[in-house]
Amino acid sequence: MTNASESAQFCTVGGVMTLDQAVEWREQLRAAGKRLVFTNGCFDLVHAGHVRYLQQARDLGDALVVALNDDASVRELKGAGRPLNDQDDRAEVMAALRAVDGVVVFSGQRATSVIDALQPDVYAKGGDYTVDSLNPEERAALENAGAEIQILSLVPGRSTSSTVKKMRDSESNGAKRKLRIGVLASGSGSNMQAIHDAIVAGELDAEIVAVISDVKDARVHQRAKDAGYESVYVDPGPYKTKLGEAAQKEIADRLKAAGVDLVCLAGFMRMVKPPLLDAFEGRMVNIHPSLLPAFKGLHAWKQAVEAGATESGCTVHYVDAGMDTGSIIDQESVPVLADDTAESLHARIQEKEHILYPRAIRSIADKLLGE
Ligand code: GAR
């Protein structure tokens, strides 16, 4: 393997370059029998974890090109507050690193077009990914290019989200800060609304910092917009009741980028499993429309009517790997009336949900902020 200064002997360009320049350079590398390593990312707040990861990537070949998300695509991926540093600055910092030979800024959320153009020999990605959680489009482009995919281990404790957290903690300087909530919802979003209303009314010392839905046209998007939040749709992948690996990764990344302390499932109709669950272990709660452990699963209000129950209600519980099995935080009960339909019972349960959810969050907020 050569280092960056040796590689300069067989290339005419380096540093920040256009895609056309990178393609020309790539041809020179190929002609010289050199292996091109490629990686991509936002690299908004560069830390030692990035530096070590990029060095490991560089060591896999003879030259390393980093494709850097432009500002618009970082905003789409990480939310309105990012990037903190604009693309010119980020590119300059990247290009100054010893491990990096070339930097190309690209638009759009996927680096597919850069992969297609550069046809890298090796593709490196950080260890918070697995081969399965790579974006399917990017993975297909890499397979098409015949690139070897290398997942590199991350440096524990060095991440952009831990840097952001340290900054927030030091800024608050011991003062009590607000609980940062991320909401996952698939439907109408009345529970997200109830959390928002409790915050506005001063009953819950928290802020909603992320709203994510697996349903493109769910009403929760409009409710979020009306309340002043940006909501995003994440493609859940090909399954009916679970989330694909790429979707889990994207949701976890978005929640981490927003600095979420607590994830609230509010009518989120998919099972949350590791690795998304692992990323927020003990910090993910769900509201379920029954008095758990009774009537787990879908349409719990319908199950209650059909079973002839005389009482039902709602439960807020921690999320674990089972279906509605996590430990219970709080509950509210309602009567089931003789003439109830599934719909009338659900409406009565929802009234209680809107009181219960903010109350349950309030009861665990101090513990979560103390962690
Ligand atoms: C709520 O009743 C919630 O308890 C239920 O979906 C509804 C969502 O309403 N959740 C489940 O059944 C989860 N298994 P919303 O979108 O108006 O908040």
| Domain annotation covers residue 164 | no
Say whether both 208 and 322 belong to one domain: yes
pLDDT digits (tens, 9 = 90+) for 16-74: 999 999 999 999 999 999 999 999 999 999 999 999 999 999 999 999 999 999 999 99
For residue 318, how far is its CA from the centre of ligand 1 (angstroms)? 15
Say whether both 181 and 67 belong to one domain: no
- Name the DSSP letter for residue 147: P
pLDDT digits (tens, 9 = 90+) for 290-327: 999 999 999 999 999 999 999 999 999 999 999 999 99
Q: Give residue 311's pLDDT.
A: 98
Say whether both 143 and 191 belong to one domain: no
Number of structural domains in the chain: 2
- Of 227, 249, 226, nearest to 236 by C-alpha is 249
| Domain annotation covers residue 170 | no
Say whether both 202 and 133 belong to one domain: no
Owning domain of residue 353 = 176-368
Would you state the torsion angle of the CA atoms of residues 326, 189, 252, 96, taken in this order, to the nearest 10 degrees?
-160
Q: What is the CATH number of the domain that holds 205?
A: 3.40.50.170
- Of 71, 69, 66, nearest to 54 by C-alpha is 66
For residue 287, how far is its CA from the centre of ligand 1 (angstroms)? 7
Spell out, as residue ranges, where the chain has pLDDT lower than 50: 1-12
- Of 53, 213, 210, 233, nearest to 127 by C-alpha is 53
Say whether both 87 and 229 belong to one domain: no
Say whether both 269 and 342 belong to one domain: yes
Does the annotation count 288 as an active-site position?
Answer: yes
Q: Give residue 164's pLDDT.
A: 76
Of 102, 118, 152, the domain-final residue = 152
Say whether both 89 and 229 belong to one domain: no
Say whether both 145 and 288 belong to one domain: no
Q: What is the CATH number of the domain that holds 58?
A: 3.40.50.620
| Domain annotation covers residue 239 | yes
Q: Give residue 2's pLDDT.
A: 43
Nearest CA to ligand 1 atom 10: 267
Say whether both 328 and 181 belong to one domain: yes
| Ligand 1, atom nearest to 268 Cα | 13
DSSP E strands: which ranges in the chain?
15-16, 36-41, 63-69, 102-106, 122-126, 148-152, 179-185, 206-213, 231-233, 262-265, 284-288, 311-318, 328-335
Say whether both 99 and 244 belong to one domain: no
| Domain annotation covers residue 161 | no
Ligand 1-lining residues (CB < 6 angstroms): 185, 187-191, 266-267, 287-289, 300, 350, 353
Q: Give residue 76's pLDDT.
A: 85
| Domain annotation covers residue 171 | no
Marked catalytic residue, from 196, 221, 288, 354: 288
Tell me the C-alpha distance between 169 and 10, whole Å.
47
Q: Give residue 5's pLDDT.
A: 46
